[in-house]
Structure formats: C-alpha cells, structure tokens
C-alpha cells in the first residue's frame, strides 16, 4: 500500500492507497514541532487501530511546502515504515511541462494539483487550491503549465480582519442567510464570504479572458473550497482529494 503525504502550511494530509483506491485519509497539524520518533509512532499507531501494520506500507510519496519538517518526517518514515520516501521535487516525472521562466520556483503542491486536474479532468483547466493561500493555476491542452495566481486564503484574510482590529471578534467562516447584515458577526461573515466569492469569480473570469483559450474547465480543491464551489457557477468541479490523487499519479509515473 502507498502513503501519499501532502505537507501544507496548516495541515499535513495523508492518504492511504490500496492499489488505485484511496482507502483512508487523515490530517495532523503542521505547526507542531515533532521528532522523527513522534512521526513514526503516529503512523504506526494509526495503522494499528485499523488492523494494519507498518509492513503493509511498501511505498511513500511526499509533497511539501514546509522544508523544516522534512528531516524529522522522512527520518520517521524510514525508521518506522522501512521505506525511502519519494519526494516531489524538480526533475521528477510528472507529465506536465512547466512553461514558466523559472520552473524550479513552482511549489510542489501546485505541481501535484496540476497533474491531478489535467490527468483526471483534462485540459485546458484552471485548478484552484483553497489552502492557507489560494492558488489558481492554468494548465493548457498538452499539459503545459502556463501561469498562476496567488492570493491570501479565506481563513488567512478573515483572521487578519479580527486580529488587526480592537473590537471585531473571531468568527466562524460560513455563508450568512443574506448580505444585508444586521449585526457585527453576520456583517463580518457577509464581507468575508461574499467578498471571497467575488474575488474568486473575477480571477477566474480574468484568467479566461487573458488566456484567450476556449472551454477551460475549473477544478477546485482544499479546505474551505467546497463552501466556495457550492456557491458559485464559476467552478465546475470540486474534488476534496485532488492533491492526494495527484501524488498517486506522480508515484505511478516513476
């Protein structure tokens, strides 16, 4: 079986693949400093409660945008799962041509999402990942990674609102019944939610206009992405496990 691990700024997301099937997923926080033993024991304990053992894992692939966790994470995997993990990095086989001036600057998470969106849903495609930052990447027909946009994530933007003001409270990010709010909390929710819908729709519209490419699909994933995708016609598909599926596709290409 394969462990596919996506190390993001907020969470580490892990998927367990049995052949082509994604059997289980789980998350842990990225911000906590852990030793290699803590990572390794966590993975072993997680397998144990599902009546599996470490020997059942014969491969691991990792995409990471947080370099300082990688030594402990990879060491824990080698020590406890007895597997040398594949790391998504420049030079790895992906089937995607990174047609930007500095391909090595592209984050591995964006590359993995591009692979999954293009391989599963076809191109041309705009793939959006609603994470700590929200990324919009355009993959053209033929698998050419053409361009990308980066904006603050919805939770990051919302936290700046209450952390940067003296009286505004921390709020749940959700869709209010109406934009015509009558109280502080609802007015903040309306501003955060509808404001983010507006920026998402405009960025997609502008990317389509400037690319001058017809029939571009829009595929979204990540965190609060479903909340956004369910409330706009600009997003065609929401796939919660897009990144993990991309890691499995990249592993298969090696």
Q: Count CB neighbours of 71 within 10 A.
A: 10
List the one residue out of 115, 138, 118 whose CA is nearest residue 128: 138
**Rounded Cα distance, 223 and 138, in Å:** 20
Whole-number CA gyration radius for the chain:
19
Among residues 6, 109, 113, 239, the one annotated as catalytic is: 109
The SS3 assignment for 16 reads strand
Nearest-angstrom CA–CA distance, 5 and 79? 17
Residue 135 in contact with residue 182, Cβ under 8 Å? no
Question: Distance between CA 63 and CA 245 in Å, rounded?
Answer: 12
Phi/psi-derived region of residue 19, left when phi > 0, alpha when psi is between -120 and 50, beta in every other case: left
The gap from C-alpha 140 to its chain's centroid, in whole angstroms, comes to 20
In 130-168, which positions are buried (b, 16+ CB within 10 angstroms) versus exposed (e)? bbbbbbbbbbbeebbbbbbeeeebbbebbeeeeeeeeee
Active site residue 109: yes
Of the candidates 145, 139, 100, which has an alpha carbon nearest to the alpha carbon of residue 121? 139
- How far apart CA 140 and CA 6 sit, in angstroms, is 24
Residues with catalytic function: 109
């Amino acid at each position: 079986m394969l462990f596919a691990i996506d190390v993001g700024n907020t969470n580490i997301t892990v998927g367990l693949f049995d052949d082509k099937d994604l059997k289980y997923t789980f998350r842990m926080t990225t911000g906590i400093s852990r030793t290699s033993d803590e990572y390794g024991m966590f993975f072993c304990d997680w397998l144990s409660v599902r009546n599996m053992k470490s020997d059942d894992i014969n491969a691991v692939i990792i995409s990471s945008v947080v370099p300082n966790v990688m030594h402990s994470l990879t060491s824990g995997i080698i020590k406890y799962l007895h597997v040398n993990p594949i790391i998504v990095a420049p030079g790895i086989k992906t089937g995607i041509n990174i047609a930007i001036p500095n391909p090595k600057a592209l984050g591995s998470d964006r590359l993995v999402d591009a692979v999954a969106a293009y391989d599963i849903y076809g191109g041309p495609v705009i793939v959006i990942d609603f994470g700590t930052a929200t990324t919009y990447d355009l993959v053209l027909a033929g698998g050419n990674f053409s361009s990308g946009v980066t904006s603050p994530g919805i939770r990051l933007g919302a936290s700046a609102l209450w952390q940067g003001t003296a009286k505004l409270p921390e709020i749940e990010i959700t869709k209010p019944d109406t934009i015509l709010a009558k109280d502080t909390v609802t007015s903040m929710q309306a501003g955060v939610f509808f404001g983010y819908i507006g920026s998402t729709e405009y960025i997609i519209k502008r990317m389509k206009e400037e690319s001058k490419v017809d029939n571009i699909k829009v595929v979204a994933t990540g965190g609060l992405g479903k909340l956004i995708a369910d409330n706009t016609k600009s997003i065609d598909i929401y796939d919660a496990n897009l990144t993990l599926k991309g890691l499995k596709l990249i592993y298969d290409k090696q």
